[in-house]
Structure 1
Amino acid sequence: MEFEIYNVDDTAKLGINLGKLLNAGDIICLTGDLGVGKTHITKGIAKGLGINDNITSPTFTIVNEYDSGRLKLNHFDVYRVSDPDEIYAIGFDDYIFSDAVSIIEWANYIEEILPNDLLHIDIKKDYSKGEDYRKITLNAYGKRYDYIKELKI
């Protein structure tokens, strides 16, 4: 499933609408270059889950937890993880195999330790189509994510 987005507001809307569809235990893996909007879509997902906290990228702490919405959210940023053992040391399996929604920015850095069932979201820029243009591609791995067929901006 692909979406062409031409502004930050639509990136957030896509995230909000996805957040409304998510279920306990869902794992969202985000990939894309620096500055493409991984944290923006995460902020939207949090809003869709009913979380109104200030969502920040946990670049230095690896994970931020939010539990003020309809589902708990574990937000990972593994950009600085150089060895999968680092992520295991924080109890990664306990986080992602819980009833919380887990969002993993830079998931490609730890793909060898990710479960088979997940929702992968890749975000790409194309400046030839405008400064804020993004192509957002969603790929569902596992039947639990069939609901993304209902996703709209």
Structure 2
Amino acid sequence: MKSFKTNSALETIEIGKKIGALLNSGDVCLLVGDLSAGKTTITKGIGMALGVKKVINSPTFTIVKGYKGDKCPLYHLDLYRLDGVNNDFDLEEYMEGDGVCVIEWPFQVSEILPKEYLKINLTRTGEESRTIEVLGIGRYKALEEAL
């Protein structure tokens, strides 16, 4: 597991850019952290690395927001309000799609998550500071090591 400490939103975005530069279509990132941990902030950096020009904000009430990127699309999902298989949302469409899929609150639907993914744990350690832990599962271990 790789661990980073940031002291501002800009530093968290920079970590996101480093991660995003290593991602390709079909990749899945799971973001884990409490409210205000920086999940959307790190997604902004991932989007910047993928060439997203639009402002990235939380998909809290829409479940998914899609962004066109120069490298590939970014699908930003917030699954906080989903309860697993008891919904009509087709998560596989995004996880197996033509872009990078970044999922906040992923373990709401653990039974349909892929077996391989990049897990990013964000912990708020102060008003602006965060600890970011990146763990590659399966083929994503190489991505973790490249950071």
Q: Does 1:98 align with 2:94?
A: no
Aligned to 1:68: 69
RMSD of Structure 2 on Structure 1 (CA): 1.4
Question: Percent identity over the alignment?
Answer: 37
Amino acid at match of 1:21: L
Amino acid at match of 1:93: E
Distance 2:84 2:29 in 1: 20
Amino acid at match of 1:30: L
Residue number among 118, 125, 148 corresponding to 2:144 in the alignment: 148
Runs (5+) with no aligned partner, structure 1: none
Report matched runs for 1:10-49 at 5 Å. Answer: 10-49=11-50
Residue number among 131, 136, 141 corresponding to 2:132 in the alignment: 136
Contact 2:118–2:137 (Cα < 8 Å) also in 1: yes
Distance 1:56 1:42 in 2: 9
Runs (5+) with no aligned partner, structure 2: none
Amino acid at match of 2:56: I
Alpha-carbon offset, residue 71 of structure 1: 0.8
TM-score (norm 2): 0.92
Change (3 A) 1:144 1:82: closer
Alpha-carbon offset, residue 56 of structure 1: 1.5
